[in-house]
Structure 1
């Protein structure tokens, strides 16, 4: 087990981390260049040897509900690997959620329908439902496109080919 002083020396060797002394002799280290709201990499290093490192964006580490790993019994190599991974994870912004191809297709889905009288309706996918419009007026809403198509067929509408 590393001593408190050894842990401090290791953390001090990372120029991108800023030391912040907190209460009861504890020390935190912040990564101000973090691309996330989270900036604390090392949390509550205590003179008794206890302390935590943030690993909330990493896989393979047993974290608590705040994403922290207890480093009390870490070796120097284990601590350095964790610190390197933690800093790297905070250096990259989270990728924005990209809708799946199915969801993108569904969001873009809009079909036009016409009956024998020349009346036109538009079926649009919006907010996980399918809405049937006559011009700007909402006529009906359906949970699935199949349900909407079945209704349109029963009412004598056929889909226009775009």
Structure 2
């Protein structure tokens, strides 16, 4: 994916988490959950380290697994009280944001699949339906194919963008 969808999901989760909170908390929540939704793609560093795409720690490998999402969620659960947030709620939303990455990547029409069950299995999976075009990696993203992928993702994730960015109703002021 081109990350447009991942950011949209992260922003929607952040909006949900913030609820009717202040704009500052809303912005921070949307930023943090978007970062969590993008976190699995930190594995692109494997290309620079010479780790093959198909290796367990290659792209769409271990960091795209449900186990990795659970580990990150556990960390978020531990950090939440320091930020005066509900530990369970924060942990579950972090799990949703990170796990969504691998699940969404399995909906693409290219690559080697996603190691969703790592460390229990190195097998890579695709969803039965793959409606999203796979994004080119690196500078190839700045091509007509990359622009096409961004447009498709923007349209596909429009409901998430709408939820995240739709203006909030102002609370009624008391006299």
> Does the pair score TM above 0.5?
no
For the aligned pair, the TM-score class normalised by the smaller chain equals under 0.3
Structure in which a larger fraction of residues adopt strand: 1
Structure in which a larger fraction of residues adopt helix: 2
TM-score, normalization by structure 1: 0.21
TM-score, normalization by structure 2: 0.20
Query: Considering only CA atoms, is the larger Rg found in Structure 1 or Structure 2?
Result: 1
Higher relative contact order (CA 8 A, sep 6+): 2
